[in-house]
Amino acid sequence: MNLIAIVLSALLLLLSVPVFLVFGLGSSVAAIWGLNLPWSTLIQVAFGSMTKHVLIAVPLFIFTGMVMLRGGAASRLVSFATVLVGHWPGGLGIAMVIAMGFFAAFCGSILAAITAVGTIMMPKMIEQGYPRPFVIVLAASAALLEALIPPSNAAILFSALTNVPVSKTFAAGVVPGFVLLLMMIAVVVWKCREIRNPVAATGREKLSAAWAAIPGLFTPVIILGGIYAGLLTPSESAAVAGVWAILVGFFVYRELTPSALLDCLKQTAQVTAVIFAIIAMATFLSVVLTYSQAPQKIIAYFTDMGGTEMMFWFAVAAICLILGTFIEIVPVFYLTVPIFAAIALSLKLDILHLYVVFVAFAGIGMITPPVCVGVYTAAGVVKASPEKAFREIPLFVLVGIVYGVLMALVPAASTWLPGVLN
């Protein structure tokens, strides 16, 4: 029966059935007919998975990012990054990467980052002579910063699955996030060294752009300051950030309108519904794994094989790269993290180290065909054919793999800051 469930899931995936239905139908077949579990058990567990307090922060951070985009904060952050480095070789590309880092500090959604920053930067880059395929893949790749630089929905989901405090997971992504940012900048400088804006911004223009960006830059202070000062939970800090975003949009920049705010709420509901549908249906799979004792058997098999730390990291990389090629990052989380976490603990590895390495390799799936949802989103922003951008993907996949290997070999990058803050 488990084999039938696997074949059914694979067939549904090949037929482009939504991922949450693939999880739900395949796992329910195994649970009900294979393990003789009642429907009520599946429903109760699914409901419990969606009502974890930490997950309240997911829609709130998405909403904050949407409001920052429509309220004018995102455009100010992009302008600030542009006047700082726009005149450097490859300056607009560097500015887009830095703007992604800025936007990561108050929005946990990768696709929202591509839309927010890419809408402003990508047309400018193409107009100035940057190759369109390179611009598309750069936007999709740089958006992975959203999964590392806090606040991050990836960190929240990982914490929900492993019961690690969100504050620690947020902290674990800071240093790796900045390392990735520097690697992306290095790629842009090397690839676009002949492209530059000959006119540098004046000191007055830089000061003006910095002053305009201050309300947006203050948002991560509210979010992270509240959490690490012990004043707010992650969910509460996300709510406060949302209120701050509304106030900034209405009264500081005066670009947010009631209709735009309503549209932000609608978009937040749509994105959240997709994420939570996947979470609920993926829980069916966790029930099957629990009752069949699959994690314990996998751990025993790995131990009996004489599995080492390097073998484990190789398995994480290979599985994440393969799964990420065919399904999005949230399902990959729910498919693999419970098992990876159990094996990591059996090897006495830091669970925060696992988070960073996992995100590094799973995030590569954002740009690898056929799914490559990040590339499709970025191509949609500039109304281009995503297939034409595929030739630039190998370079960024190579960068991602080098980055993932580096994070696996240097655990201190993931564990140092959480230890200091602890």
Copy the structure tokens of residue 87.
């005149």
pLDDT of amino acid 244:
94
Which residue is it, tokens 């996947």? 278
pLDDT of amino acid 295:
65
pLDDT of amino acid 108:
60
How far is 3 from 372, CA to CA, in rounded Å?
Answer: 28
Question: What SS3 class is residue 86?
Answer: coil
Burial (Cβ within 10 Å: 0-12, 13-18, ≥19) of residue 304: exposed
pLDDT of amino acid 6:
67
Q: Which residues of 14-47 are buried (b: 16+ CB within 10 A; e: fewer)?
A: eeeeebbebbbbbbbbbbbebeebeeeebeebbe
Single-letter amino acid, residue 238: A
Copy the structure tokens of residue 385.
């054919």
Peptide bond into 369 cis (omega under 30): no
How far is 238 from 348, CA to CA, in rounded Å?
Answer: 33
Selection from 302, 372, 294, 286 nearest residue 335 by Cα: 286
Torsion angles phi and psi, residue 195, rounded to 5: -105, 125
Q: Can you say whether the dihedral through the CA atoms of 3, 335, 404, 298 is positive or negative?
A: negative
pTM of the model: 0.87
How far is 365 from 114, CA to CA, in rounded Å?
Answer: 15
pLDDT of amino acid 94:
92
How far is 103 from 146, CA to CA, in rounded Å?
Answer: 8
pLDDT of amino acid 184:
94
Question: What SS3 class is residue 354?
Answer: helix
pLDDT in tens, the chain (422 residues): 566 666 777 777 777 777 778 878 877 887 888 778 888 888 888 888 888 888 898 899 889 888 988 898 888 988 898 898 888 888 889 999 998 888 776 666 677 778 878 888 899 889 888 999 999 999 989 888 888 888 888 899 899 989 899 999 999 999 999 999 999 999 999 988 888 776 788 889 999 999 999 998 888 888 888 988 888 998 899 999 999 999 999 999 999 999 999 999 998 998 888 888 888 887 777 777 777 776 667 777 777 777 789 999 999 999 888 888 877 778 888 888 888 998 898 889 999 999 999 999 988 887 888 778 888 888 988 888 888 889 899 999 999 999 999 999 999 999 999 999 87
The domains of the chain are located at: 2-421
How far is 325 from 371, CA to CA, in rounded Å?
Answer: 6
Helix then strand then coil, in percent of the chain rounded to 5, is 80, 0, 20
